[in-house]
Amino acid sequence: RHNGLPYSGMNVLLLWSEAIARGFASPMWMTFKQALELGGAVRKGETGSMVVFASRFTKTETDSAGEEFDREIPFLKAYSVFNVAQIDSLPDHYYGQKAEPVRDPIVRIEHADRFFANTGAMIRHGGDRAYFSPATDHIQMPPFQTFRDAAAYVATLSHEATHWTSAPHRV
């Protein structure tokens, strides 16, 4: 959770499976309101993941003889949370470890950068996986400096761009 306390019970499984399915590297989640309170903003088009809160409350009732008794009533409340990878402008410590700078910086391939910029694809950087998200229509790439060389970065981005170009609304 945003406050450092871990989720428990079925929420662990729900968020674990969501993180795997959606490619989130961070284990940190928070509600829309919690993100706002921390100065963050959930990106437009992002969808939340469901978690649940289970508890009980006690209600005092009266039986047919006029005697009062307490009855415990269980309840389950579902709400949405967002992974920090879906939220911009949070304090840096919410984003975890940044990639270590490379001692010998990789020289970018300028004409490849121009090519991908001209496609109009939204390309985001962060995390440790490359993927195309149809839900938000963006390509997610690990930071450039985490690739062994510029050719490996361009090859990976080219692969993800093929998924982007075959999205149903572009075909």
Mean pLDDT of successive 10-residue stretches along the chain, which has 171 residues: 85 89 87 95 94 93 93 94 94 71 71 93 88 91 86 92 85 65
Q: What is the pLDDT of residue 153?
A: 92
pTM: 0.53
32: alpha, beta or left? (left if phi > 0; alpha if psi -120 to 50): alpha
Secondary structure percentages of the chain, helix, strand, coil, to 5: 30, 25, 40
